[in-house]
Chain A
Amino acid sequence: MLVNDPAAAHFEIDPERTDLVEEFRRNPKGPHSDQLRKVLHRMRWSGEGGRFVLVTIDPGRRWVLGRLSGRRGDPVELFRNQTFDNPADAEWHVFKVRWQAITGRAIED
């Protein structure tokens, strides 16, 4: 069977590469450098730190952060105090959560 294995994304993220953090902060939507693409693929494929999603409250205007459990039939968990009027802000928020989950280091705003 063809399956998508979340653990297959195994690029090692160097916690010292804060330049990549800054690159993402400046330009969440990309295009990104080759090294940052690899960091993002690890984060997005593996879901480490949380398989986050945006749930549309008002199309094109407002979104709330959500998270998938990975189990069929579970509701989408909503973080009702985390709303965004720009998806790029949500990308930065999720990047910070995942960077800390993977590297153990927090990103200062």
Chain B
Amino acid sequence: MVDTNSVLGYATPIVASPGERIRFHLSSATMAEVGVEVVRVRCGDPDPAGPGLKLRSMGSAVDGRRPVRHQPLRPGSFAIVGDRLPLPAQSSFSFGCFLWPTMPAKGAVQTIAARVDRAGTGWRLEIAADGRLRFAITGADGRTASATAPRPLLEREWVFVAARYDEGGMLSLEQASLDPQGGRDCSAAMAGSAPAGVLWPDAAPLVFAARWTGEEAGRPVTADHYNGKIDRPRLHASALESAHIRALCDNLDPRPGDPGLIGAWDFAHGIGTDRVHDRAASRLDGQLFNQPARGVTGANWDGSAMSWQARPAHYGAIHFHDDDMADAGWEPDFALDVPADWPSGFYALRLTGENAEGAPVDSFVGFFVRAPLGRARAPVAFVASTATFLAYANSALRLDQVHAESMLEGLMQLSADDCYIAEHREVGLSTYDTHADGSGWIYSTARRPILSMRPRANSFNYVNDTHVLDWLEEKGFDYDVIADDDIHRQGAALLGQYRCVITGTHPEYYSREMWDAFDAYQRGGGRHIYLGGNGFYWRISWNPAMDSAIEVRRDVTGVRTWEGEPGEAYHSYTGEFAGLWRTNGRAPQRLVGVGFDAQVFDRSSWYRRLPESHDPRVAFLFEGIGADERIGDFGLRNGGAAGLEIDRAEATLGSPPHLLRVATADRIGYGGLPTPEEFRTAHRGLDGEQNGNVRADMVFFPTARGGAVFATGSIAWACALSPRGYDNNVSRITENVLRRFLDPAPFEGF
């Protein structure tokens, strides 16, 4: 087995033009030196039944032997408030907030709030390993006094918690359930003696959801992370009665004129940023690390508003996870200045050597080179679906949920990457996964190693897309690569440089800006070839302040590998409603003629021509194809060109009147099952053996000003391009379409 993980890394940025600089951040726990080589990727799929790995060495300035160090990954999100007055002036104090713990019985300490120095001196409110709330103070002499609640907190139940220290020599703790009935009451109060007159340390930041242990490479290092929500934390400079602390927390806008009020944090302020806002007079604003979930419901949410923008006061919570990972923070090892003459394409930094067992290492860091912005170098653009690559980054779904073997109708085939992720959750998972506490991952960023976006990766999206690159190269078509990041930022102007734009096997995740760009491109005479399935499906947001970071929320409907919490269907990055584009009034059929209808992972099928394929207006499509020919009854993905995820035309969802449904694969078999939004009520007969709407449609339609769209409606299509030496009907149809789409002559007769 080839070792693809003993050295890992990431590129910043992941997309660059010639003349721009890309930094590489590497780490290895076991290797001291690696061989470095920049390669341009033609095919990233090592499957011997297909083209095989095809990587061209670029002879770059960074090639050669290079030292590599170990840079740890530190997962877990938290908020940190720097140490400054009035924090060091405290002796007596009170702290209170609302909690919604999602993993109280984790079996390890979880910190709610703490102000401790490197030696652990200070105070901390935490959930002990057995799920019970504990308030502890540790003096400069190292001795600890604590109070522990007699009963554990309940999972996913709101509770008010308060802790106070009286410098006269007492500490106390209270928890009060917000819904104390039906067995949900864990209310309790505890008090204990403590040293008198404790003075809190200097050089100790206040941290929510973790405990500070020091700094490394300019970043805080933390431990004992919390899983769950914290809402409206308050800190006061005296030992208040519980009712007083509760009143401070209940009050959405506590009076900043209260001289004892040290901090009153309002997490509803600044949703979409990594800052936390303090309403108190000393403005102890804080910084978030590793992107905990924002725009989430608070203890006072009552369903009267579903959007955090409509009623921010009900969204004053942050949901922290001990496995959040948004920015590894690794130091760069070296930088590549992309040479002016490099062609656009998928690229990778190849890292080779020997691992600790003496076995060969062949690891990659994926990145993309676009044409200089505004200066297209080819008539065709292939879209690097970076949003989709991010959405799937480091998925452990097949490992953590039990559906995969049933869906595949066979044993899962795991790669070395899967085995690595099984053990190394610190790389951060994908938006398909759940956190350790069962909640969904809503953010995915590129500032961490992405094992699924590089050659040799698992064969979905990225690797499948390289089969299109391989085919373009084989057929001699010049192409530029443009990335979703660029389409989001540059919009229709970027697409408009190209006579034809090809989207790949699985362009599933689209922001409004990306959708608008394609819509305007197509209306302006652009020609779009969509060679995939399940495209243009989920609405996403890009982080306005961080490159290559997306947000996905899975609510309402769609193929959801987790279900979002009620009231949390709006993106925190932008405030946009999330979910399917179909729910947002833009079913994919309206843009590309077809839309996701079914998954079929057990076997792929083939297309048969329909009467509209003989329409003389689309004669170009089927030149060289017989009337009764089976199209794509071969391929590298389960033996056919129609499979994995498939799309169909549907006029009621927006397939245009001029659309010609030229071929269909509608004999899918029982492994084909419709997406949830494709049936109204549950009934037998939904599967592809019995249901004609479980199918892949091949369609063509003209758009305004000579534009056009061609779609195949199947992820498996691209992996059927290469069989028989690229001399097959899938390859031929694809070539027929591309050649015609490059011909500026308008499509007549519509």
Q: Which residues of A contact B (CB under 8 A)?
A: 1-4, 6, 28-31, 37, 40-41, 44-47, 51-61, 63, 66, 68, 72-76, 87, 90-91, 94
* CB pair A87 B411 closer than 8 Å: yes
Closest chain A residue, CB of each to CB of B638? A29
Number of A-B contacts (CB under 8 A): 95
B415 within 8 A of A: yes
Give the most central of A47, A55, A59, A68: most B CB within 10 Å. A59
Q: Which of B400, B411, B415, B422 contacts A75 (CB 8 A)?
A: B422
B401 within 8 A of A: yes
Q: Which of A6, A61, A87, A90 contacts B48 (CB 8 A)?
A: A61
Q: How far is the CA of A74 from the CA of B419 in the complex (A)?
A: 9
Q: Which residues on the A side are within 8 Å of B423 (C-beta)?
A: 73-75
> A4 with B403: in contact, given A31-B669, A31-B670, A59-B46 (CB under 8 Å)?
yes
Q: Which of A28, A60, A76 contacts B49 (CB 8 A)?
A: A60
B413 within 8 A of A: yes
What 0/1 pattern do residues 409 to 450 of B give for CB contact below 8 A with A? 111111110110011010000000000101000000000000
* CB pair A29 B562 closer than 8 Å: no
B602 within 8 A of A: yes
* CB pair B425 A56 closer than 8 Å: no
Q: Which of A45, A54, A75 contacts B406 (CB 8 A)?
A: A45
* CB pair A74 B413 closer than 8 Å: no
Q: Which residues on the A side are within 8 Å of B409 (C-beta)?
A: 29-30, 40, 44
Closest chain B residue, CB of each to CB of A31? B669
B47 within 8 A of A: yes
* Known contacts A60-B46, A72-B400, A75-B422; 5 further A-B pairs (Cβ under 8 A): A53-B413, A55-B418, A57-B1, A66-B414, A87-B413
Q: How far is the CA of A52 from the CA of B405 in the complex (A)?
A: 9
* CB pair B419 A76 closer than 8 Å: yes
Q: How far is the CA of A109 from the CA of B603 in the complex (A)?
A: 27
What 0/1 pattern do residues 565 to 576 of B give for CB contact below 8 A with A? 000000000000
Closest chain A residue, CB of each to CB of B46? A59
Q: Which residues on the A side are within 8 Å of B46 (C-beta)?
A: 59-60
Task: Please give the distance in Å from B439's CB to the nearest CB on chain A.
Answer: 8
Q: How far is the CA of A91 from the CA of B423 in the complex (A)?
A: 25
B513 within 8 A of A: no
* CB pair B47 A2 closer than 8 Å: no
Q: How far is the CA of A63 from the CA of B560 in the complex (A)?
A: 30
B68 within 8 A of A: no
Q: Which 6 A-B pairs have the closest CB atoms?
A: A44-B405, A2-B563, A59-B46, A44-B406, A60-B48, A53-B412
Task: Please give the distance in Å from B564's CB to the nearest CB on chain A.
Answer: 10
* CB pair B436 A54 closer than 8 Å: no
Q: Which residues on the B side are within 8 Å of A2 (C-beta)?
A: 560, 562-563
B686 within 8 A of A: no
Q: Which of A30, A41, A51 contacts B602 (CB 8 A)?
A: A30
B306 within 8 A of A: no
B189 within 8 A of A: no
Q: How far is the CA of A40 from the CA of B671 in the complex (A)?
A: 13
Q: Which of A31, A37, A63, A75 contacts B413 (CB 8 A)?
A: A63
Closest chain B residue, CB of each to CB of A30? B409
Can you report 9 residue pairs joining A to B where beta carbons are below 8 Å apart?
A6-B402, A44-B406, A45-B406, A55-B415, A56-B414, A56-B416, A61-B48, A76-B419, A91-B410
> A41 with B411: in contact, given A59-B46, A76-B418 (CB under 8 Å)?
no
Q: Which residues on the B side are within 8 Å of A56 (C-beta)?
A: 1, 413-416
Q: Which residues on the B side are within 8 Å of A28 (C-beta)?
A: 410
Q: Which residues on the A side are within 8 Å of B411 (C-beta)?
A: 52-54, 87, 90-91, 94
Q: Which residues on the A side are within 8 Å of B400 (C-beta)?
A: 72
> A60 with B47: in contact, given A37-B670, A44-B405, A87-B410 (CB under 8 Å)?
yes
Q: How far is the CA of A52 from the CA of B418 in the complex (A)?
A: 14
Q: Which residues on the A side are within 8 Å of B603 (C-beta)?
A: 29-31
B399 within 8 A of A: yes
